[in-house]
A and B are shown apart, each in its own frame.
Chain A
Amino acid sequence: MKTRFLSIILFIGPSITLMFIFLIIPIFFSFFLSLTNFGAFAMYDWSKASFIGFENFTELFKDELFWKALFNTFYCLIVALPVTVILALGSAIMLNREQTYFKNFFKVSYYLTFITNTVAIAIVWRWILNSQYGIMNYLLGLIGIEGPNWLGDPAWTMPSVIMLVVWRAIGYNMILFLAGLQNIPEYLYEVAELDGATRWQKFIHVTLPMLRPTMLFVTVMMIIGYLQLFQEPYMLTGGGPLNSTLSIVLYLYEQGFQYFNLGYASTIAVILFLIIMGMTLLRMRATKST
């Protein structure tokens, strides 16, 4: 039975229309803006902005702050991704054992960090990491470690940001891994045991290969999410000190909405978009080829 045209328009139309207005057309618009010198002067009269070709791009590639932001963002991705995977998968495996008690308590407490608001909890972390009065350094002091100036020393600011990012991400990814683990058929382990496989061999040859779809999903989501790092550095350090926590999105926000260099900010957005697409495709191809 063919569906009536009117039904199609009524059911799918509203979503598609909104999607075109707020998502699809703006993407093209963004590419166009990146080729203009759109600034505060053009906000109320778009005709004042002019087309400047790839000037924004050449300028961006010479912009030291942009390279700094790029470096910091990848610093976060490269450290936070494996750490999150290891901690989330480790917790999921421990929770998936039949002999583990208080499963629900653990699940809820790990997951709590993910559902809470980043801005609000970052303000709490800023207080926890306060070098003089924070409980972090107090607790470290109890075991004889002199804690660093977490948010003041440029060497420690990115680790602080990454700590918050990972802390928030573990629970969510743990739930995903747990679902993946529960989908592995039991007989695979039994067969492996008959062959005399050790616990480690079972992990390498049964668990990991069977988790591949989950692993792909988890890492792709993390790549997309971590490359958009913004709230954590914005709240913890505001990008400082000495731009040591400036991320791509934070730089985009500053250029676009503090200086209103909207053309230049669009260029940053376009580059970010291309990086995210590229990294996602790379990750997907890596799975296909193995």
Chain B
Amino acid sequence: MRKKKTSFFGQIGIHSVLFFGSLIMIVPFAWMVSTSFKLPEEVYLIPPRWIPNKPTLENYTDLFDAMNFGRPFMNTVIVALSITFLSVMLSSMAGYGFAKFKFRGREKLFLIVLGTLMVPGQITMIPVFLMLNQMSLVNTYEGLIFPPIANAFNIFFMRQFIKSLPDELIDAAKIDGANEGFIFFKIILPLTKPALAAITIFTFTGSWNSFLWPLIIAQDESMYTLPVAVSVLGGQYTERIALQMAGACIVIAPLIIVFLIAQKYFIKGIALTGLKG
């Protein structure tokens, strides 16, 4: 922390720059929310009106009644929660194994896991699509949920965290006759809460936002996730701007709620990845 005095004008200058930056970040959201409550005649007004004269919920009711947005919403909730639960569970188990188990080839195996971090998703996309197609899993929840579960980043993150826990904890429990399952669930997991919170949030928002994979796998409207539904909305109802904005609000609102609740874990988690990387 710098302790040097800054001049009054320096202070004003720096705060104005930061404030202007915030404005650029926030205005698009404000504009989205405002437009989503407008009737068509107010959408195209110039100069634009920030607060609609006759606010309406029509766009939202249209979205759920006429466009059946409830379905992609539920799909996204189901898919995102399943991926998050399975991925966090399996990654923390693997992270524990890589951190504390002793066996030959452990480091080599872990290097392979790390190596997959550098692989762009596009290169696995086509083969996985063909494999799923062969098993008739295209256009199913399984097809949306299983491929993204194995997550090298989560395994890496959990391994780093669990590595820092003392071995004595585990050895003492073993002497008392505890098995690996007990040690993991009753001793290790409770100590990794901050790390678990971070990867839970990352995985959830990541799968909520996932776009290219659902775009390929969800071929039928009944399997669309929210981002896919919104992109289709943007393509089909190009003139109904307010409707598009309402769709965008529905995708974004849950993310903002999760973020505001778990803000601390988000920021800590990101800072951790940067320092360890």
**Chain A residues within CB distance 8 Å of chain B:** 1-5, 7-8, 10-12, 14-16, 18-19, 21-27, 29-30, 33, 43-44, 46, 91, 94-102, 105-113, 115-121, 123-128, 133, 135, 138, 167, 170-172, 175-176, 178-180, 183, 186, 189, 213-214, 217-218, 221, 224, 227-228, 230-231, 234-235, 249, 252-253, 256-257, 262, 265-266, 269-270, 272-273, 276-277, 280
Contact = CB atoms under 8 A, between A and B. Distances in A.
B222 interface: no
Contacts of B259: 111-112, 115
30 contacts: A7-B180, A8-B97, A12-B98, A12-B109, A14-B90, A16-B94, A22-B149, A23-B116, A33-B126, A33-B130, A43-B130, A94-B17, A96-B1, A106-B21, A108-B260, A115-B256, A119-B211, A119-B227, A120-B249, A123-B245, A126-B234, A167-B25, A175-B274, A189-B2, A214-B275, A221-B277, A235-B231, A256-B125, A257-B215, A276-B118
A106 B11 contact: no
B102 A19 contact: no
Given A18-B150, A33-B127, A123 B244 contact: yes
A108 B91 contact: no
Contacts of A269: 120, 122-123, 125-126
B228 to A, nearest CB: 8
Contacts of A116: 29, 252, 255-256
A155 B158 CA distance: 46
B94 A12 contact: yes
B64 interface: no
Contacts of A179: 270-272, 274-275
Given A4-B180, A101-B15, A110 B120 contact: no
B126 A266 contact: yes
A252 B122 contact: yes
Contact of B18 (A106, A133, A262): A106
Given A12-B93, A97-B2, A26 B248 contact: no
Which 3 A-B pairs rank lowest in CB-CB distance, beginning with the nearest? A179-B271, A18-B150, A26-B127
Contacts of A217: 273-274, 277
Contacts of A22: 124, 128, 146-150
A128 B28 contact: yes
Nearest to A186: B1
B199 interface: no
A52 to B, nearest CB: 16
Nearest to A280: B118
A213 B245 CA distance: 40
B103 A8 contact: yes
A125 B28 CA distance: 7
Interface in B1-48: 1-3, 5-6, 11, 14-15, 17-18, 21-22, 24-29, 31-32, 35, 43-44, 46-48
B79 interface: no
B26 A111 contact: no
Given A7-B180, A12-B101, A117 B29 contact: no
B25 A112 contact: yes
Contacts of B271: 175-176, 178-179
Name the prevailing secondary structure of the B interface residues.
Answer: helix
A111 B15 contact: no
Contacts of B244: 123, 127
Contact of B2 (A46, A98, A252): A98
A107 B21 CA distance: 11
B198 interface: no
Contacts of A262: 126, 130
A117 B227 contact: yes
B36 to A, nearest CB: 10
A172 B25 CA distance: 13
Contacts of A19: 113, 116, 150, 152
Contact of A2 (B102, B123, B227, B277): B102
Contacts of B102: 1-3
Interface string B245-277: 101110110011001100100110011111101
Given A94-B18, A167-B25, 7 more contacts: A3-B102, A15-B90, A16-B109, A97-B1, A100-B14, A179-B271, A273-B120
A18 B90 contact: yes
Interface residues of B, number: 102
Interface in B58-90: 90
A186 B251 CA distance: 43
A117 B208 contact: yes
Given A110-B21, A117-B227, A180-B275, A128 B209 contact: no
A222 B93 CA distance: 30
B140 interface: no
Contact of B266 (A111, A186, A189): A111
B174 interface: yes
B183 to A, nearest CB: 10
